[in-house]
Amino acid sequence: MDFINSKQDLINYFQEGCKKEDQLSIGVEHEKFLFDGHSNQRVNFETITKVFNFLEKFGWKPIKEKNNVIALKREDQSITLEPGNQVELSGAKLKSIHLVCNESYKFLDELKEACKKINLKMMSVSFDPFTKLQSVPKTPKQRYEIMTNEMPKKGELSLHMMYQTCGTQINLDYTSEKDFVKKFKLSSFLVPISIAIFANSSIVENKNSGYLSYRSKVWQHTARAGLPKYFLEDMNFEKYADMVMKMPLLFVLKDSNHLNAAGKTFKDFVAGNLSIVNNAKPTIRDFKTHLATIFTEVRLKQYIEIRSLDTCEWDCHCGAPAFYVGLLYASLDEAYDIISKWNISEVLNAYINAPKKGLNTLIENKTILEWGKIFLSLSRKGLEKRSIKNDAGKDESIFLRSVESILTNEKTKAEITIEKFQKNKNLDFLYEKKE
pLDDT tops 50 at residue 139? yes
Does residue 52 sit in helix, strand or coil? helix
> Whose CA is closest to 302, among 320, 319, 284, 317?
284
Q: Are 149 and 300 in contact (CB under 8 A)?
A: no
Please tell me the predicted confidence (pLDDT) of residue 333: 98
Does residue 213 sit in helix, strand or coil? strand
Per the document, the length of the chain is 435
Please tell me the predicted confidence (pLDDT) of residue 255: 87
Does residue 17 sit in helix, strand or coil? coil
Number of structural domains, the chain? 1
Please tell me the predicted confidence (pLDDT) of residue 316: 87
Helix (H) or strand (E) holding 253: strand 251-254
Please tell me the predicted confidence (pLDDT) of residue 425: 86
The total of other beta-carbon atoms located within 10 Å of residue 96's CB is 20
Q: Are 370 and 217 in contact (CB under 8 A)?
A: no
Residue 227 placed within a domain: yes
pTM of the model: 0.97
Residue 396 placed within a domain: yes
- State how far the Cα of 253 lies from the Cα of 435, in Å rounded to an integer: 43
Residue 349 placed within a domain: yes
Domain carrying residue 79:
25-239+303-423
pLDDT tops 80 at residue 435? no
Does residue 30 sit in helix, strand or coil? strand
- State how far the Cα of 283 lies from the Cα of 288, in Å rounded to an integer: 9
- Give residue 312's pLDDT band: very low, low, confident or very high (50, 70, 90): confident
Please tell me the predicted confidence (pLDDT) of residue 315: 82
Which residue type is seen at 28? V
Query: Which residues lie closer than 8 Å to 435 by C-beta, 6 or more apart?
Result: none
pLDDT tops 50 at residue 349? yes
Extended strands (E) in 54-175: 61-65, 68-74, 77-81, 87-90, 120-123, 167-172
Residue 287 placed within a domain: no
Query: Which residues lie closer than 8 Å to 8 by C-beta, 6 or more apart?
Result: none
pLDDT tops 80 at residue 368? yes
For residue range 329-342, list pLDDT tens digits in order: 999 999 999 999 99
Residue 284 placed within a domain: no
- Give residue 22's pLDDT band: very low, low, confident or very high (50, 70, 90): very high
Residue 262 placed within a domain: no
We report the CATH number of the domain holding residue 219 as: 3.30.590.20
pLDDT tops 60 at residue 147? yes
For residue range 151-210, list pLDDT tens digits in order: 999 999 999 999 999 999 999 999 999 999 999 999 999 999 999 999 999 999 999 999
Residue 93 placed within a domain: yes
- State how far the Cα of 320 lies from the Cα of 52, in Å rounded to an integer: 27
- State how far the Cα of 114 lies from the Cα of 57, in Å rounded to an integer: 10
Q: How far is CA 19 from CA 44, 64, 298, in A?
A: 41, 32, 19
Query: Which residues lie closer than 8 Å to 432 by C-beta, 6 or more apart?
Result: 112, 115, 121, 122, 123, 124
Residue 430 placed within a domain: no
